[in-house]
Amino acid sequence: VVIQQAGVMDMLRFHKFTIGWNWIADYGSSDNEAEFKALYAYSPVHNIREGVKYPATLITTADHDDRVVPAHSFKYAATLQERQAGDGPILIRIDTNSGHGASSTTKYIEQTADIYSFLFQNLGITPKYNP
Phi/psi at 73 (5° precision): -70, -40
Please give the pLDDT value at position 102. Answer: 60
Separation of alpha carbons 73 and 77, rounded Å: 6
Single-letter code of the amino acid located at 89: P
Single-letter code of the amino acid located at 80: L
Q: Which residues of the chain have pLDDT under 70?
A: 102
Please give the pLDDT value at position 84. Answer: 98
State pLDDT tens for residues 73-102: 999 999 999 999 999 999 999 998 887 776
CATH code for the part of the protein at 2-123:
3.40.50.1820
Distances (CA, A) of 67 to 19, 57, 99, 113, 126: 6, 22, 8, 24, 36
